[in-house]
Amino acid sequence: MTQIRYEKCTWPEIQEFAAKNAVVIIPTAATEEHGYHLPLDTDSLITSHVAYGAAERSEHPCLVMPTVWIGFESHHMDFPGTIDVDWELFIKYGLSITRSLARHRFKRFLILNGHGSNKPIIEVIARQTVIEQPDTFCAAVGWAELSDAQQVFNEMRESEITSHACEMETSAYLAIEPESVQMDKAVRDMKYRMSTHYWTDSAGRKPNPSFKNAVRHMEIWSTVTDSGVRGDATVGTAEKGRRTLDAAINQLVELIQETADRPISPPVDHH
């Protein structure tokens, strides 16, 4: 089986994939502003690229669902173009996908995320899927959270923080579809105020060695950036993006195999 796109399969082919214990990747992303220089589809484009790349390299059968292109965006709505979906609706939507897949006898799901504010939501979807369908396994991770990708990027990075429409995302988009990036409009926007516990970095590096663990927080986006960028987009390059994405794809291949091999044990009621 060489097909990796779920929606391109016929129903008998879907049946074959399920019988082969295929892992199904569910990419989740967003349609939102990404500064003056990146298109609204940044999260969707990058997440889809990583998902398809890993499925193509995987030796284990793997299918990629169509990317969920809307995300939880209420804090971004001061910037034109952003499409917001209610968080409860997002959870219901995600569970509708995993329920359908389980009905078709798929057992193993990976939710691959590309939008930061989806994180708590996709974790709920993954946990609730297993509660509703105890004979399934579902996990969630963001492509930028993959440690191999972070390590490779951090060896090349030039910016203090990576967060949104930043060096990391700009580099990734340049590696995939450079003709859609308006680098002459890229900016460095460091309006976001950082302190010991209030900081963020997509690649997991502390902006200051003295900083402690970052607490989960999200301020209204227009209060922490003027341009929509949080970080330095001007230092993004296609080479940084290519190497970072390659590392993410290779680690996701490993994760696909681990997901395929992981035992699914029946629950034990101790009442």
For 217-230, what is each residue's pLDDT tens digit?
Answer: 999 999 999 999 99
Total structural domains within the chain: 1
Residue 3's pLDDT band (cuts 50, 70, 90): confident
Average pLDDT over every residue of 251-261: 98
pTM: 0.96
Contacts of 64 (CB under 8 A, 6+ apart): 4, 5, 6, 24, 25, 27, 48, 51, 52, 55
What pLDDT is stored for residue 94 in this prediction?
Answer: 98
Q: What CATH number should be reported for the domain holding residue 154?
A: 3.40.50.10310
What digits encode the pLDDT tens for the residues 171-198?
A: 999 999 999 999 999 999 999 999 999 9
83 found inside a domain? yes
- The SS3 assignment for 112 reads strand
Q: What is the DSSP string of 134-146?
A: TT-EEEEEEGGG-
266 found inside a domain? no
The residue segments making up the domain with residue 50 are 6-261
153 found inside a domain? yes
CA dist., res. 66 & res. 52, Å (int): 10
64 found inside a domain? yes
268 found inside a domain? no
What digits encode the pLDDT tens for the residues 53-79?
A: 999 999 999 999 999 999 999 999 999
